[in-house]
Chain A
Amino acid sequence: MSARKLAAGLGACAVLLAAAGCGGSAPSGAAGVAAGRDEGPVKIGALHPVSGANAVDGQQMRRGAQLAVDAINAKGGIRSLGGRKVELETGDTQGKAEVGQSEAQRLISAGAVGLVGTYQSAVSTNVAVVAERNRVPFVMDVTASDAIFSNGYEYSFRVQPGSAAIAGAAARYLKEVSQQAGKPVKKVAFLHEQTDFGSGAAEAFTAAAEKLGVEVGPNISYDALTVSDLTAQITQVKASGADVLAVAGYYRDSLLAAKAIAAVKPRLNAVWGVSNGAYDQPKFVTDGGALGERYFSTNYHFDAKNQQTAGLRAGYQRRYGAPMRTGAVLAYDAVQVIAQGVERAGGTDAEKVRDAIASSKVEPRTVGTGPIAFAPNGDNKNALPVLMQVQNGQVKQVYPAEKAESKPNYSVTWRS
C-alpha cells in the first residue's frame, strides 16, 4: 500500500470523526435550549418514513402534519396559552424500528409535547414504548396493528380504525352489499400477505364472516417481499369455486394479484380489498388501468363528503402539486388532536395534555361516525372504515349509505 493511499484513507476516517464531533453536538445543543417546554412555540413531533421504501407516504404525512400546524397558527395559535404558536419538529424513521425509536427520543428531548406517526406498525410499536417511558402522548395516524393496544399503555392513541375493525367492517359490508345486489355472498376466498398485517386481516375477517354465516376458504398467503407472480394462487381461487375474492396486501403485490385475476378470470362476483394497500389508491387506477375497474376496498379514508376535507386537500394540491392521500389527512387529524389537547389542558405538562387528549372530541377530516374520541385503550372509538369502489377510473366511497358518493356496483368487469 502506498503512503498516499494510506493518507487518503486515514483522511477519510478523520473527516468522519470530525463530523462525529461537530455533527453530534447539534442535537444536544438544541436539547439544552429547548428542553423547557414553557417558552417559545409549542413543539409537536412528527415521525414518518421520509426516506426508504415508503418515502412517498412518509413525505405526504409529514406535509399533512405541517398543514395542520399552519392551520392552527393561522387561527392564532394555542389560545389558552395566550396565542403561543405551534411548531412541527420532524423526524425520519427511515422505515426502521430502531431508528424510529432514537428519533422519538430525540424529539422528546427537543421538547415535543406529543408525537404523531409513524405509518408502519413495527415502528409505531417501538415509538409507543418510548412515549410510554417518557410519559409523552403518542397519537398514531396510520398504524394498522392492534397488538400495541393490548399492552395497557396510557400514552398511546390512534386515529385510524384498527386492522380488526376494518376487517370486521369489510365482512359486514360484503354481506349487506351482496344481499342488496341480489347475489348474496356464499364463499369467500382470502388472499393475503403472510405477515401480521395480512394474516391479521384474514383472521379478523374470517371470524366476522363466519358469525354472519359466510364461509371463508381457501385462505392463501404469500410472501410480499419476494412474490413475483400470483397466477397459481388465483388459479387455486378459481378451482375453489369461491364467488368473492378478498385481498389484503401491500401495493406491489396487490397489483400483481390484479394482473393475475385479469389473466385467470375466476368466476367471481366481486374482488374485495381488505385494508388493501392498492385498491383504493388513485395510483392503482393509473397503473392498473382497466384491471382495477369495479374493485372494492374497505379501508380508512379521508372523508370525501366533507367540505372542509375537500378544502384541505385542495390546499395540499396547490402547495405540493400532488393529490393528498389519506395518510396525510390522518396525520393532519393527529396533530389537531395533540394541539387541541394542549389547548384544553391550558399548558404543556405532558400528564395534563395526555388527560386532555384522552377525553378529547376533535372533528376529523377522515371518515368517522362522530368526533375523534378515544376508548380507554387509546383507540378512536368513532373511526369508521368505509367501502370504496373503482368506478370509471375514480375511487368512490360507496357504502355505508350516509358516506356514499355513488352506489356500489356489485359485479366484476369480465363477467357482466
Chain B
Amino acid sequence: MTGTTGITLTGRPGAGAARPVKAPPLRPQNRQLAVLAVLLLVAVPLPLVLPPAQGAVAVRILIFALMAVGWNVMSGFGGMFSFGHAAFFGLGAYTSAYLLVEHNVSPWIGMLAGMAVAAAVAVVIGYFAFRYRLQGAYFALATFAFAEMLRLIVTTTEFTNKAVGFTVPLIRGSSLWKIQFAADSPAYFWIALGLAGLAALVSILFLHSRTGRYVTAIRDDEPAAASLGTPVMRYKLMTVALSAAITAVAGAFYTQYYLFVNPDLAFGSSVSIQAIATVVIGGIGTIWGPIVGAIILGSLSDVTATLLRTPPGFLDFLQGRSGLDVAVYAVLLILIVRLLPKGIVGTIAARWRR
C-alpha cells in the first residue's frame, strides 16, 4: 500500500542542486554532501544573530529535523510506514535520563545507550512485523500499538518513575560533558546542529551505500529483490535499527534541552505524528524533505501563537479564542498535503526533472 506513492526516485538531486552544464557532473552523493556542508556552515553563526526567543525555536527545529531524518530512513527510503516512532524517541529519552538521574552517567554515553536500546527494540518489533508480513496500514497500526504499549508500561512502572518521569538535576555552571549550559546559550544550538548534521550525513551515506540501494530496491519491488536472492529481512532490519537509533538521539537531546521527560512527552502518539508530519510536508523519501519540513513545522506553532497573542488589527476578534492556533496549524497541514502530495521537496524535484 505504501508502495512507491509519494516517494521520489532515489539518487536524484535534491532541490537547489542544479546540474552544472559544462563541468563534469558530480556524483549525486558528493553533491548532496556539498549542499549539507554549505547548509551547516550557514547555520553555525545563527544563534549569535537570532534573538533568544528565536534561539529556542531554532533548537526545536533541529530536534524535529533529527526525528524526521530518523523516520525518513525507515519509512521514506525503506517504505516501511512507521506510526510508532515515539517508541524510539522515548527509549532514547528515557535511557539517557535514567542513566543520568539514577547513575550520574554522562548524557553522551546515555545517548549511545539509548541508541542501542532503541535499535534493539526496533529489531524485535521489525522482526515480528516482517516475519508476519505486515504491510501498509497494518504495519503502521502495529508500530502504533507497540509505542502505545511502551507508553502505558512506562506510565505504571516504578523503575521509570511512573507518570512523574525524570527531571534532569541542575548543575552549577555549564558542562559539555553533562550537556548543560545557561538557558540561552548558543551551545545547545551548536550541539543540536552537530547531531542533526551528523544524522543527515548518515542518511545520505546510507542511501548511497550497498544496504541503502538494496533497501530501496526492496521497497520498490520486494518479490523481485527476494527472487534475486537479496536477504530481505536482514536489510530491512538494518534500516529499522538505523532509523530507531537516529530517532533515539533526538529523544536523548530533547531530555537534555528541556531537562524533563515524562511518558506522554516521550512516548505520546503526538511524537509519532510529529515525525510523520514533518517528513510528509517536506517530502517523503527525499534527503532534504525532513529538513525543510522541520523548519516549517518547528516555527509554525510559534508563528500562529505569536500572531494570536498580538494580532494585527484585522484579526483582533480572534484574540483569546482558545484552540484557534491548533486549528490554523491543522488547516495549513491539510492544505499542504492536499496541494503538494509529494511534499515540498518532492514536488519541486519532480518539476525540476521535467
Interface residues of A (CB under 8 A from B): 1, 5-6, 8-10, 12-13, 16-17, 19-20, 23-24, 26-28, 31-32, 50-52, 55, 58-59, 92, 94, 97-99, 101-102, 105-106, 109, 122, 125-126, 129-130, 132-134, 145, 147, 151, 194-197, 199, 223
Q: Are A19 and B303 in contact (CB under 8 A)?
A: yes
Nearest 8 A-B pairs (CB), nearest first?
A: A28-B51, A9-B339, A51-B322, A195-B163, A9-B340, A23-B303, A196-B163, A55-B322
B322–A134 touching, CB < 8 Å: no
Q: Which residue of A lies closest to B320 (CB)?
A: A50
Chain B residues within an 8 Å CB radius of A28:
50-54
Binds A, one of B79-87, B215-223, B255-263: B255-263
Are A1 and B325 in contact (CB-based, < 8 A)? no
A51 touching B325, Cβ below 8 Å: yes
Give 1 or 0 for each of B309-348: 1 = CB within 8 Å of chain A CB. Answer: 1100000000010111110000010011001110010010
Q: State which residues 268-324 of B face A: CB under 8 Å.
A: 296, 299-307, 309-310, 320, 322-324
Nearest-Cβ distance from residue A102 to partner chain B, whole angstroms: 5
Chain A interface main SS type: helix
12 further A-B contacts with Cβ under 8 Å, apart from A24-B57, A195-B162, are A1-B350, A5-B339, A9-B336, A10-B340, A10-B344, A24-B306, A97-B258, A122-B264, A129-B258, A133-B170, A134-B183, A199-B163
B347 A6 Cβ-Cβ under 8 A:
yes
Partner of B265, one of A94, A98, A106, A134: A98
Instruction: Write out the residue numbers on chain A whose beta carbons fall within 8 Å of the beta carbon of B323.
Output: 51-52, 55
When distances are taken between beta carbons in the complex, the residues of chain A under 8 Å from B350 are 1
Residue in B53, B156, B258, B305 whose beta carbon sits within 8 Å of that of A31 in the complex = B53
Q: How far, in Å, is B77 (CB) from chain A's closest CB? A: 23
Residues 137-181 of chain B, each 1 if its beta carbon lies under 8 Å from chain A, else 0: 000000000000000100110000011110111100000000000
A223 vs B148: C-alpha distance when bound (angstroms): 14
Q: How far is the CA of A270 from the CA of B264 in the complex (A)?
A: 35
Cα of A286 to Cα of B156 in the assembled complex, Å: 34
Q: Contact check, B296 vs A13: say whether CB atoms are below 8 A apart.
A: yes
Q: List 22 A-B contacts (CB under 8 A).
A: A6-B351, A13-B340, A16-B296, A20-B299, A20-B303, A24-B57, A24-B299, A28-B50, A50-B322, A51-B322, A98-B258, A99-B301, A101-B258, A101-B260, A102-B60, A105-B56, A109-B53, A126-B258, A126-B260, A129-B170, A129-B260, A196-B162
- Tell me if B164 and A196 are in contact (CB < 8 A): yes
B259 to A: closest C-beta gap in Å: 5
Please measure, in the bound complex, the distance between the C-alpha atom of A129 and the C-alpha atom of B261, giving whole angstroms: 12
Most buried by B among A51, A125, A199: A51
Is B182 part of the contact surface with A, judged by Cβ < 8 Å? Answer: yes
Contacting pair B182 A9 (CB below 8 A): no
A26 contacts B306, C-beta separation under 8 Å: yes
**Docked complex Cα distance between A404 and B187 (Å):** 56
Q: How far is the CB of A127 from chain B (nearest CB, A)?
A: 10
Give the complex CA separation of A132 and B167 in angstroms: 13
B336-A23 in contact (CB<8A): no
Complex Cα spacing A182 to B160, Å: 44
Contact B336 A132 (CB under 8 A): no
Q: Which residues of A contact B52 (CB under 8 A)?
A: 28, 31, 105, 109
Interchain CB contact (< 8 A) of B183 among A92, A125, A130? A130
Across the interface, name the chain B residue whose C-beta is closest to A3: B351
Is the Cβ of B182 less than 8 Å from the Cβ of A133? yes
Cα A12 to Cα B344 with chains together (Å): 11
Residue interface mask B219-253, A partner, CB < 8 A = 1: 00000000000000000000000000000000000
Contacts of B169 in A (CB 8 A): 151
Measured between beta carbons, the chain B residues less than 8 angstroms from A145 are: 164
Asked whether B332 lies within 8 Å of A23 as measured between CB atoms, the reply is no
Q: In the complex, what distance in Å separates the CA atom of A145 from the CA atom of B167? A: 13
Contact (A19, B53) CB under 8 Å given A51-B323, A134-B183: no
B264 touches A17 (CB 8 A): no
- In the assembled complex, the Cα of A125 lies from the Cα of B262 at a distance in Å of 10
Q: Chain B's nearest CB lies how many Å from the CB of A149?
A: 12
A350 to chain B, nearest CB (A): 13
Min CB–CB distance B47 → chain A (angstroms) = 13
| 0 or 1 for each of B171-208: is its CB under 8 Å from A? (1 = yes) | 00000000000111000000000000000000000000
Which A residues are CB-close (under 8 A) to B326? 51, 94
Contact of B155 among A23, A51, A134, A195 (CB under 8 A): A195
**Which chain B residues lie closer than 8 Å to A19 at the CB level?**
303-304, 307
Contact of B344 among A13, A31, A58, A196 (CB under 8 A): A13
Contact of B51 among A10, A31, A94 (CB under 8 A): A31
* A residues in contact with B302, CB < 8 Å: 23-24, 102
Report the Cα distance A59→B354, complex, angstroms.
54
B16 to A: closest C-beta gap in Å: 14
Q: B113 to chain A: closest CB distance in Å? A: 23
